[in-house]
Amino acid sequence: DTIAIASSGYPCYRNILSALGCHLANVPINEEFKLTANELQEEIIRRRESNATPLKGLILSSPSNPTGSMLTPEELKELCLLCENEGIQFLSDEIYHGISYGKQEATALTYSSKAMVINSFSKYYSMSGWRLGWLVIPEGLIDPINSLQQNMFINAPTISQTAALKCWDDDTLKELEKHVEKYSASRKVIQEELMKIKELDPKNIAPADGGFYVYIDLGEENVAKGFGSVAMCNALLEEEHVAFTPGTDFEDPNGNLGDRRFRISYAGGIETAQSAMERFHRFWPSWVERVQKAKI
């Protein structure tokens, strides 16, 4: 089976699907760093005209890791309808729901009875180490999913389930909303500091609608042979002790964008974000100089 994923997306999708023997269709994201019904329709038409294997599934996260982009309710609705009309099983990864910044969130369950929805206690509920989540599926998939569950993990740990019951207490929810406020403040710091770097095109900075990541494309001007985002992140770590993640994990390995893009996480706190961006500013002029020398 051939499964569609966004060309910029969570690397485990690609790895797990490959391990299961599935074929991958890396669908290019648009200028807003999104995969919408428009991009999926183009892939469907392209495959049809070239007699390629039709798509059987789509896995997509919104808000996205690594881009932070989030589908609008209308965009999600159009995607759900397209998948139903084309017989594509849609798995909507909504693990970052609850962490968004002013734009309206939406779930695929609102628009489709055939979509699968995955969610977790790891992100909004800050329980990443407890390995607990949930899956909402169409009735026709209950038996096969139950068979997989019984043979792979049986059930989530009892202690994790017991701890998670506190997540919906009023005090807990108040605390979790404070977490989102901190993410929002850290996000603002990073976005404002990036806008001060004149060599970075604002169009190459993903919108960061949700989650806790900012994704940046260095552009051709700020990379050279041997001096891409991997080298930049290595140098930044060694020289300024700041860890950014190069795009090689997230991008289509058949393309060249992995070594041009990088991700900044702001889950570590406001002071951490401020310190990291100060160091990045200190580092940046030397990086530009290295790239310019490499191009001579």
Query: Do the beta carbons of residue 67 and residue 215 sit within 8 Å?
Result: yes
Mean pLDDT of 65-90: 98
Q: What is residue 6's predicted lDDT score, i.e. its pLDDT?
A: 98
* Lowest mean per-residue pLDDT among 85-89, 118-122, 127-131: 127-131
What pLDDT digit, counting tens, does each position of 251-274 carry? 999 999 999 999 999 999 999 999
What pLDDT digit, counting tens, does each position of 171-195 carry? 999 999 999 999 999 999 999 999 9
Mean pLDDT of 211-233: 98
Q: What is residue 290's predicted lDDT score, i.e. its pLDDT?
A: 98
Mean pLDDT of 38-52: 98
Q: Is the dihedral of CA 234, 235, 237, 242 positive or negative?
A: negative
Looking at every residue in the chain, the average pLDDT score rounds to 97
Q: What is residue 115's predicted lDDT score, i.e. its pLDDT?
A: 98
Q: What is residue 121's predicted lDDT score, i.e. its pLDDT?
A: 97
Give percent of the chain above pLDDT 90.
99
Calpha distance 39→90 (Å, rounded): 15
Query: Do the beta carbons of residue 103 and residue 70 sit within 8 Å?
Result: yes
Q: What is residue 250's predicted lDDT score, i.e. its pLDDT?
A: 98
What confidence category does residue 61 fall into, taking pLDDT thresholds of 50, 70 and 90?
very high
Residue 7 DSSP code: S
Q: What is residue 198's predicted lDDT score, i.e. its pLDDT?
A: 97
What confidence category does residue 123 fall into, taking pLDDT thresholds of 50, 70 and 90?
very high
Burial of 283 (0-12, 13-18, 19+ CB in 10 A): middle
Mean pLDDT of 286-291: 98
DSSP per-residue codes, 223-250: -BTTBSHHHHHHHHHHHH----EEGGGT
Q: Among residues 267, 256, 262, which one has the least CA distance to residue 283?
A: 262
